[in-house]
Amino acid sequence: MKFVSLFSGAGGLDLGLEQAGWDCLFATDFDPAAIATLNANRGFRLDGGRAAFGRSVIEQADIRQLSGEDMLAKIGMPKGSIPLLAGGPPCQSWSSAGQQRGFEDPRGRLVDDYLRIAAEIDARWLMFENVRGLLTARGIDGVPGSALARVRQSLFQHGWQTRVELLNAADYGIPQRRVRLILIGYRTGDAPELPRRTHASVPGSGLRAWVSLESCLGSIRRPDPEEVIRATGKMALDLQDLPAGTGAKSPGKAEATRPGGHWGYKQGAFIADPRLPNRTVTASAQQDWVRDPELGLRRLSPRECAAIQTFPANWVFCGKRTDQYRLVGNAVPPKLACRLGEALADHVSQDGAERVEIWEGLNPLPKRLQGAISYTMRDELRNGASRRAAVKRPLTTAIL
Ligand X SMILES: C[S@@+](CC[C@H](N)C(=O)[O-])C[C@H]1O[C@@H](n2cnc3c(N)ncnc32)[C@H](O)[C@@H]1O
C-alpha pair distances (Å), 133 with each of 50, 253, 396: 36, 18, 27
Between 34 and 115, CB nearer to ligand X: 34
Q: Where are the beta strands (DSSP E) in the chain?
A: 2-5, 23-29, 57-60, 84-86, 125-131, 161-168, 176-177, 179-186, 199-200, 208-209, 247-249, 253-255, 258-262, 265-270, 278-279, 289-292, 296-299
Q: How many residues does the chain have?
A: 400
Instruction: Name which of 213, 143, 135, 136 is nearest 167 in CA terms.
Output: 135
**Residue 161 or 310 having the CB closest to ligand X:** 310
Binding site for ligand X (CB under 6 A): 7-13, 29-31, 34, 62-64, 87-88, 90-91, 110, 330-332
Q: How far is the CB of 89 from ligand X (least distance, A)?
A: 7
The CB-of-55 to ligand X minimum distance in angstroms stands at 19
Strand partners, 130: 181
Q: Nearer to ligand X by C-beta: 34 or 181?
A: 34
Q: If we measure between CA atoms, which residue out of 279, 271, 273, 203 comes closest to residue 238?
A: 271
The least CB distance from residue 13 to ligand X, in Å, is 4
Helix (H) or strand (E) holding 387: helix 367-392
9 versus 223: smaller Cβ distance to ligand X:
9
Closer to ligand X at the Cβ: 90 or 223?
90
Judged by CB, which is closer to ligand X: 307, or 331? 331
User: Nearest distance from residue 221's CB to ligand X, in Å?
Assistant: 23
Backbone angles phi, psi at 129, to 5 degrees: -120, 140
Q: Which helix (H) or strand (E) holds 338?
A: helix 334-351
56, 22 Cβ separation under 8 angstroms: no
CB of 315 to ligand X, least distance (A): 10
Distances (CA, A) of 27 to 23, 321, 379: 11, 23, 40
Least separation in angstroms between CB 80 and ligand X: 24
The residue (of 29 and 273) whose beta carbon lies closer to ligand X is 29
**Residue 60 CB-half CA count within 13 A:** 10
CB of 61 to ligand X, least distance (A): 6
